[in-house]
């Protein structure tokens, strides 16, 4: 499992979406939070990442955000990843 520590959703086509990359994933859940614990993004599809917008499709500010990823691999093993990412424009 790989997750970048920064992304730049500025519409230039390069690194515009925060995505987790992994192989052998059977089920996947990802959440992105602001520093107060508010959920900005949720996904249950490893190929659907966060584009830097909130639930109302407004651009969120530059800064640090937290992510929580919970997944099961093809062998039924549960994996949990928590981390911090930086949004830059």
CATH number at residue 37: 2.60.40
Q: Is residue 1 part of a domain?
A: no
Token duo for residue 47 = 């190929």
Instruction: Tell me the average pLDDT of the chain.
Output: 94
pLDDT recorded at residue 89: 85
Question: Domain span at residue 63?
Answer: 6-87
Q: Is the pLDDT of residue 54 over 90?
A: no
User: CA-CA distances (angstroms) from residue 60 to 29, 33, 37, 54?
Assistant: 21, 11, 14, 6
Burial class of residue 22, CB neighbours in 10 A (0-12, 13-18, 19+) = middle
Average pLDDT over residues 44-65: 93
Contacts of 86 (CB under 8 A, 6+ apart): 5, 6, 7, 63, 64, 65
Q: What is the pLDDT of residue 55?
A: 82
14-25: average pLDDT = 94
Q: How far apart are CA 66 and CA 87, in angstroms?
A: 11
């Amino acid at each position: 499992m790989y997750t970048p520590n920064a992304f730049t959703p500025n519409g230039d086509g390069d690194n515009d979406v925060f995505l987790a990359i992994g192989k052998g994933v059977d089920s996947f859940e990802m959440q992105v939070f602001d520093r107060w614990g508010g959920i900005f993004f949720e996904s249950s599809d490893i190929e659907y990442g966060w584009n830097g917008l909130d639930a109302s499709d407004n651009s969120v500010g530059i800064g640090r955000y937290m992510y929580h990823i919970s997944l099961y691999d093809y062998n039924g093993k549960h994996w949990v990843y928590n981390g911090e990412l930086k949004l830059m424009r």
